[in-house]
Structure 1
Amino acid sequence: MHSSAVRAKSFSARPAGIAGLFGDRFVAGEVDSFLEECAAALHAHETGGGMPRLRADDVLRKRFTLTRSGDGYDPDEVDDYLDELTVVLRRHEEAAARSSTRVGGPTAPPV
C-alpha cells in the first residue's frame, strides 16, 4: 500500500435516509481527514522523511463519530481498510527500528 493509494481511497457512501434505515455511519469528513494524516505518515516512511507522528497504534485507537443524519461511510468498510493500513504502517515502523541500529539509514519494507 502506497501513500498515493491512501489519498485516492474512496468508501461506499451511505446517504442520509429515514432514521435507522441505513443505520449508523462514520462522519465522512472525519474519515477523510484521518486518511490524509495516514497518507502523510506513509509518505514520510516512503521518502525517508523521519519517523512520522502518526503511528500504527494511533490508527488502531482511532474512533470516529457515528451519525444517522447526513452522508457517511460504512463503518465495517472503513475499519477493514484501517486494519490493512495498520499492518503496513507497523511494517514501516519495524523496518525503521531495525535500520536505526545499522549504518546506512532506513530501508523500505516489502509491502
Structure 2
Amino acid sequence: MASSCHEEPSSSEPSPETTISDIKIEHEPPDSRLSELGIRSWPKWGCPPGKFPLKFDAEETCYFLKGKVRAYMSGSSEYVEFGAGDLVVIPKGLRCTWEVSIAVDKHYKFDCS
C-alpha cells in the first residue's frame, strides 16, 4: 500500500525508532510564532471525545484551538498530554492512541516530503 499524507486509524505496534517522547510540544507560543508559521491559513480538523488509534504517515504540525488529548504508545502506559494553546509536532511513523477527554479543534499541516 502506498504511503499517504494523512492520519490513519491503526492497530499495529509502533516501530522501535519512534517513541511518544518524539512528540514536540510548545505550550502557548506567542502570536508572532503562529503568524510566522501561517497557522491560521492551515486546514482545520476536529474530533469528539473518545479513543482513536492513529498512524502518522507524514510529520504533522498542529495548533490546538480547543481540546485535551493524552497520546499513548500502543500497548504502553507511557503518554504525553497536550491541548488548547499547544503547538505540537508529531513525527512521521508514530503510531499511538489519542484519548480525547475534551473535543479537539485544531489547525494542522503535514510535511509530505
Q: TM class by shorter-chain length? A: under 0.3
The structure whose Rg is larger is 1
**When you count strand as a share of all residues, which structure comes out higher?**
2
Does 1 or 2 have the higher relative contact order (CA < 8 Å, sep 6+)? 2
TM-score by length of 1: 0.26
**When you count helix as a share of all residues, which structure comes out higher?**
1
TM-score by length of 2: 0.25
